[in-house]
Structure 1
Amino acid sequence: MKPLSISTLTICGIDELPAQSSRTVTHVLSILDPNWPELEAFHAYGTHHRTTLNFHDIIDADEGKILPQPDHVSEILKFGKSLAESKVEGAEGHLLIHCHMGISRSTAAMLSLLAQTYPHDSEDRLFERLRQIRPQAWPNSLMIQYADDLLGRKGKLVDELRRHYTWQIKREPNYLEWMARIGRSREIEMAI
């Protein structure tokens, strides 16, 4: 696959969207809870292409919630393929991926796109790039598992995710409490 025709990569949460409006964003991937209202922040953006996916930030089935599915990650990868195919020589773009907090679903989506775009890069290099883009990244493990399968990475993305979680807990010990509180203890166990 050709590299993305994107020179700037941004991950953020909903509260950070207004601050991005002056940065000439060309492509947006929004990952929101189902039935979330339209985000007014995008009215201040210039012309851009936006794709929205709707599912919850969970890793285990929960009644009344939509669990991330392989089809969701497949849609993210289709989005990336479309970006690569639309590359215009010399054009610069700005891809913004956001979810509610800019920590889990959006970082999993960005890592999936990086792994797709740079298939020969090592997994540790991909996570290093992700941390450069969004230092507080805690990618949704279920989404990473699906990306690993879809991209034929043979478990290497999931293995590196474990190391990333360990790194993140050392950097910010509060992740232990935060992830346990929202039902993501299994991810903490992956790190430990």
Structure 2
Amino acid sequence: MQSPSIQMLTICGISELPDQRERSVTHVLSILDPDHPDPEAFGAYDPHHRTILRFHDIIQPIPGMILPEPEHVEAVLRFGEDVARSREAQMQGHLLVHCHMGVSRSTAAMLTLMAQTHPEESEDSLFERLAEIRPQAWPNSRMIAFADDILSRKGRLTDALRRHYRRQLQRIPRYEQLMHDLGRSREVEMAA
């Protein structure tokens, strides 16, 4: 996604989508649970390009749920390539990535897109920019591991994710219990 003309990057949850309709969104990546209905908010948006991916926000197998897989991250990267080629992106585009809460899947996807767009940028710098865009970011570790591999970052994205988790636990201590409750203790342990 070699497109420096995307001027605005936004991450949000479903409940925040109505607040974004006046912000001239040109490209949307929606990451939804498989059984979640399409958000009605998009009916009020100006014309935009939208891609929808459907999988659960989990990091280990759970019966009846769909894990993020490499093909989901590859779809995120194809979306990034499409954005880079689009005329709207060359005319000051606005990229919106959302999931249910705007905390995990969407932040992992945005980090993946930023790493794709800026292959020369350090991993820690990418995570710092992610936290500026979405202060509550807690990227899905499984998605980041796939992005790390696909983008040939040689473990550096995963290492930077550990440091990001550590900073987030210092900033938002309640995340420790929340991640344990969500079955994501392994991510908390990554921060240690």
TM-score, length-scaled by structure 2: 0.97
Q: After the TM superposition, which of the residue ranges 6-15 and 89-98 deviates more from structure 2?
A: 89-98
Residues paired across the two proteins, number? 192
Q: Does the aligned pair in 2 maintain the 1:4–1:80 contact within 8 Å?
A: no
Specify the alignment match of 1:64 in structure 2: 64
Pairwise CA distance, 1:86: 2.0
Q: Secondary structure at the match of 2:22?
A: helix
Specify the alignment match of 2:154 in structure 1: 154
CA distance in 2, matches of 1:44, 1:89: 21
Letter in 2 for 1:8: M
Q: Does the aligned pair in 2 maintain the 1:32–1:56 contact within 8 Å?
A: yes
CA distance in 2, matches of 1:120, 1:87: 24
Letter in 1 for 2:159: D
* Gapped regions of structure 1 (runs ≥ 5): none
Q: Secondary structure at the match of 1:130?
A: helix
Pairwise CA distance, 1:87: 4.5
Q: After the TM superposition, which of the residue ranges 63-72 and 35-44 deviates more from structure 2?
A: 35-44
Specify the alignment match of 1:12 in structure 2: 12
Deviations 1:133-156 (A, max 9, x none): 001000000000000000000000
Percent of aligned positions that are identical: 62
Letter in 2 for 1:177: Q
Cα 1:57–1:89 shift into 2, 3 Å: closer
Deviations 1:82-139 (A, max 9, x none): 1112246850111000000000000000000000000000001100110110010000
Specify the alignment match of 1:46 in structure 2: 46
Q: Secondary structure at the match of 1:23?
A: coil
Q: Does the aligned pair in 2 maintain the 1:105–1:140 contact within 8 Å?
A: yes
1:14-163 matches, cutoff 5 A: 14-87=14-87, 91-163=91-163
User: Which runs of 4 or more aligned residues in structure 1 lie more than 4 Å from their structure 2 counterparts after TM superposition?
Assistant: 87-90
TM-score, length-scaled by structure 1: 0.97
CA distance in 2, matches of 1:22, 1:137: 23
Cα 1:89–1:53 shift into 2, 3 Å: closer
Q: Does the aligned pair in 2 maintain the 1:11–1:98 contact within 8 Å?
A: yes
CA distance in 2, matches of 1:45, 1:89: 17
Q: Secondary structure at the match of 2:66?
A: coil
* Gapped regions of structure 2 (runs ≥ 5): none
Pairwise CA distance, 1:13: 0.2
CA distance in 2, matches of 1:170, 1:66: 31
Aligned pair 1:183/2:188, yes or no? no
Deviations 1:14-70 (A, max 9, x none): 000000011111110000000211211111101011100000000000000000000
